[in-house]
Structure 1
Amino acid sequence: MASVNNVRKIRESKMMSKAELARKASVTVQTIDRIEKGNDCRLDTKRKIILALGYKLGERSKVFGEETSADDRASSQVKTKSKSKVKVRRQAGKGKRQA
């Protein structure tokens, strides 16, 4: 699924080649090329590219837009499930302490 991002525009404004960005982000030039064409990538790859471009992770929307990718949704679902498990464990632990 193609998504709009600003990777190419930002990279070019910083006078970086695809090879330089790929090296800084520890990914392949082909990965950079695919992302600049709008293909999706893993969340970890986005994180690497954001940092390699000199942005903070909180500024990811400046690089990748406001999209909600499948990776982002999956990540938030995992966090939600983890939080609910913690609540269940805490509640279960309270019952044991009182006994």
Structure 2
Amino acid sequence: MSQNNSVKAIREARLLSKAELARKAGVSALTIDRVERGEKCRLETMRKIIFALGYTLEEKDKVF
């Protein structure tokens, strides 16, 4: 089951590569790739990605 999210669109709009976002979030580039394809990830991973993209937890619906 996949989940729709805006991670790829936001990352590309900010001109970040998958590797750059992964480094900022403290996760692997493979994890970023999986999230962008809509695969499930842990809540902790979602939180890291939200913060790495410059959003707050209150704005999580804009990302996931």
Give yes or no for TM over 0.5. Answer: yes
The corresponding residue for 2:2 is 2
The two structures have a TM-score, normalised by structure 1, of 0.64
Gaps of 5+ in 2: none
Q: Which residue of 2 aligns with 1:73?
A: none
Aligned residues: 64
C-alpha distance in structure 1 between counterparts of 2:56 and 2:32, whole Å: 19
In structure 2, the residue matched to 1:46 is 46
Aligned alpha-carbon RMSD (Å): 0.4
Q: What is the identity percentage for the equivalent residue pairs of Structure 1 and Structure 2? A: 61
User: Which contiguous aligned blocks of 4+ residues in structure 1 show a shift greater than 3 angstroms?
Assistant: none
Which has more helix, going by share of residues? Answer: 1
Q: Aligned residue for 1:62? A: 62
Identify which of structures 1 and 2 has the higher relative contact order when contacts are C-alpha pairs closer than 8 Å and 6+ apart: 2
Question: What is the TM-score when the length of structure 2 is the normalising length?
Answer: 0.98
Q: In the TM superposition, what whole-angstrom CA distance separates every residue of 1:3-61 from its partner, at most 9, and x where no partner exists? A: 10000000000000000000000000000000000001000000000000000111000
